[in-house]
Amino acid sequence: MEDLYISEEDRKDLETERYALAIERIRAAADESVCEERIQAYFCRMAKFVLLMDEAWETVASGKLRRMTLEELQEFNHRLYEDILPENYEKSYADPDYATDRLGKSMGPMLSFLYAELRGMIPAAFEQNRFDMVIRAELLLEVYQEFTSAAQETGQRADGAERAGETAAGEKVPDAVPDPEDIRQILYWYVSDYYETAFLDRTENQLCPSRDFARSIVMDSDLDDLRYLYYYGEYVTESELRTAAHLNRMPKERIRLMADTYTEGYRIGFEAGSKDISIKKTVNIRYALGFERLIRQAVINFDQMGLKTVVYRAGSNIFQGRSVNKNGFFGADPNKQFDYDHREDQALFLDKPLVERRLACMKNAYERYKAEAAVFGGPAVMEIFGEKPFVPVAKESACRLSDKQQKLSVEYSSKAGTLQNEYIPGEERSFTIIAFPVPDIGERYEEIFDDIVRINTLDYKLYQGIQQKIIDALDQGVTVSVKGRGANRTDMTIALHRLSDPAKETNFENCVADVNIPVGEVFTSPVLAGTSGTLHVTRVFLNGLEYKDLWIRFEDGMTADYGCANFPDEKENRKYIKDNVLFHHDALPIGEFAIGTNTTAYVAARRYGIEDKMPILIAEKTGPHFAVGDTCYSHAENVRVFNPDGKEIIAKDNEVSLLRDTDVNKAYFQCHTDITIPYDELGEISVLTGSGERIFIIQNGQFVLEGCGELNKPFEEQEQAAKRSVCGRERAMP
């Protein structure tokens, strides 16, 4: 294991020496023919990739990168990612299907993982992280050595005979490959040995403003010169270039308005949650490439609040986790199928000792950066949407967690969440999320972008008043009924907490533009007992993945059964949901029930035909939604929260989250996935009062509660526009 306590100067010298030795050996391996052809072809390609990474390192270190023309940068960027682009992926060892076909069922998945891990050298080269370069180069050499040794031993046993075939005595010559378990062990100890250094590095990246690789690009670059997009080492497409160019054309006042909405949402989140922002010193900004002009203004705004910004890269290796849903700063995704294929690579080696090792390393990292963790305020997230919807292909060759490993994964997630909360208490931190479209959304990109800016800056006072009327009706209820219409089969009953003092207490939070921008929802944590029924949506996108005819049946607030129509095999459909909605848990509670009120966003999505591309952040405001997983108040249930009318929100817990008082590891799931029923699939939302009266809030997709008529105006405008369109077409007919 790496010695963590040698001097920084000695460490750098040692890493430089190790790296030079590794590159020299890899350079020789690129032209060798020691192993049988199919094996040697793999290692030759891996060697050439590592040499490309060495070229990238030197290009950055020498300053050549900053001297390249835009065309040269584009060509170099393409070379880094071309092997995993969709048009090349089926012939790439990163594709587990191809690797398995070429290298066998035992070796294929492991060597495909090895290549995926080597690709983590791209950010290392651009950030000049010699250690991350060294350990991956040495991993390749260690695995290669096993194969060359096996080939040489096989040749010796064959006594000069061909490696594949029979000896002179007629005995079959063994395959010239090592025992797969030996390779698995190498991968296992690579992960185990470097967890500590990886956690320390990642934690420093997440908490320390001194790690300013990305922030310096944002703040110091000439943003009119779009070459800066290639300085990150992320994949860059026409979409990022167009986004940056579009923001560069915007007036300063508009950029400031967008940034103010974003940063003020963060500040108000602390205020609304009765949390003291003055004790915080840092905020993490997460964003997509192309938005640097907006991010620069946000950094300035946060500085004025007394908050230093921290920016880190989205996960790109086994230590950070690889996912379709990015968490950090990120460029274009060269191939979402690649991320999906490798999302469970830890199945190759995950066991109980490794989980314990990860938790120990995580605790050590937080101890090292305890002071920085205490003043971290939480993330300010800028999401993007409009990309082509991704429908994954399920591959048998891809690594999959076993049932036992799924339980270990859940155990780790639970304990890691508890550990994080120990150092960054939930009752002291907050967040904000805002979303903007990217050019892939369609030909009307600029128009859509402007409309989203308008939606993100709607008059929250107007919504606050209307939403209070909805809350007043809901607070009279014992249960709420939600029913679908048409093809939607939803039929849910939601049990509400009892208010001991209705004059001072409420069940629902009046959510305006703070942590979740834009405005437009009221939400609660339901009582689980008595919350039952079926939730159904004909089509929905969750965390970047499409679900067709998704349905979940709940019994007393817990998921009891589920399915969808993505794959012909029902078993595969269930696994898809368990992996990506339940996150390997056998069951999850309903953590939230909400009614979205942002009809303006809903109508805009219909006008542009982008309903399937809207992010959940906006989509959740366009109808009622249910979240499976933790409540919205996870780890902050004891913080007193009040609505603008002065009433205290008492529905912050459910029967599961209350277990935190006896066993915290059973109280939280570290996930929260919103599933929205759009207005046009909605038949009814009504409240059943204690006296048996039923109060209707929505019927047939329209708000019918008195005082909520303003929310129907976008529907009326949509209908009038449709009529004008029809009349126009009729007049144009000969």
At 727, the pLDDT band (50, 70, 90 cuts) reads low
Q: In what order do the strands lie in the sheet with 694-699?
A: 558-563, 545-555, 527-542, 491-495, 477-484, 682-689, 694-699, 702-703
Average pLDDT over residues 706-727: 80
User: Residue with structure tokens 């205290």?
Assistant: 648
Angle, nearest 10°, between helix axes 37-61 and 8-29?
140
At 461, the pLDDT band (50, 70, 90 cuts) reads confident
Average pLDDT over residues 542-556: 92
- Name, in order, each residue with C-beta under 8 angstroms of 116's C-beta and a sequence gap of 6 or more: 94, 322, 338, 342, 345
Closest CA to 137 of 149, 150, 119: 119
Q: What's the confidence (pLDDT) of residue 677?
A: 93
Q: What stretch of H or E contains 368?
A: helix 352-368
Question: Tens digit of pLDDT for each residue in 423-435?
Answer: 999 889 999 999 9
CA distances from 663 to 128, 425, 600, 633 (A): 43, 17, 43, 18
Burial grade of 41 (CB within 10 A; 0-12, 13-18, 19 or more): middle
Question: Tens digit of pLDDT for each residue in 230-288?
Answer: 999 999 999 999 999 999 999 999 999 999 999 999 999 898 888 999 999 999 999 99
Distance, in Å, from the CA atom of 216 to the CA atom of 221, rounded to the nearest integer, reads 8
Average pLDDT over residues 664-674: 90
At 611, the pLDDT band (50, 70, 90 cuts) reads confident
Tokens of 95: 């594709």
Q: Tell me the CA end-to-end span of the chain in Å, nearest whole number.
A: 81
Radius of gyration (C-alpha) of the chain in whole angstroms? 28
Per the rule left: phi > 0, alpha: psi between -120 and 50, beta: everything else, 317 is beta
Pair 235, 336: CB distance under 8 Å: no
Question: Tens digit of pLDDT for each residue in 171-208?
Answer: 443 467 899 999 999 999 999 999 999 999 999 999 99
Our measurement of the distance from residue 538's CA atom to the centroid of its chain's CA atoms, rounded to an integer in Å, reads: 23
Question: Tens digit of pLDDT for each residue in 559-585?
Answer: 999 999 999 999 999 999 999 999 999
Question: Tens digit of pLDDT for each residue in 486-540?
Answer: 999 999 999 999 999 999 999 999 987 677 888 899 999 999 999 999 999 999 8
Pairing label, strands 694-699, 545-555: unpaired
Q: What's the confidence (pLDDT) of residue 173?
A: 39
Strand partners, 523: 509, 594
Q: What's the confidence (pLDDT) of residue 619?
A: 85
Q: What's the confidence (pLDDT) of residue 44?
A: 97
Average pLDDT over residues 674-689: 94
At 733, the pLDDT band (50, 70, 90 cuts) reads low
| 56-70, 293-307, 447-461, 674-688: range with lowest mean pLDDT | 447-461
Question: Tens digit of pLDDT for each residue in 383-420?
Answer: 999 988 888 898 999 999 999 999 999 999 989 999 99
Q: Is 403 helix (H, G, I), strand (E, B) or coil?
A: helix
Burial grade of 390 (CB within 10 A; 0-12, 13-18, 19 or more): middle
Q: Is the pLDDT of residue 474 over 70?
A: yes
Q: Is the pLDDT of residue 447 over 90?
A: yes
Q: What's the confidence (pLDDT) of residue 446?
A: 94
Closest CA to 151 of 263, 271, 36: 36
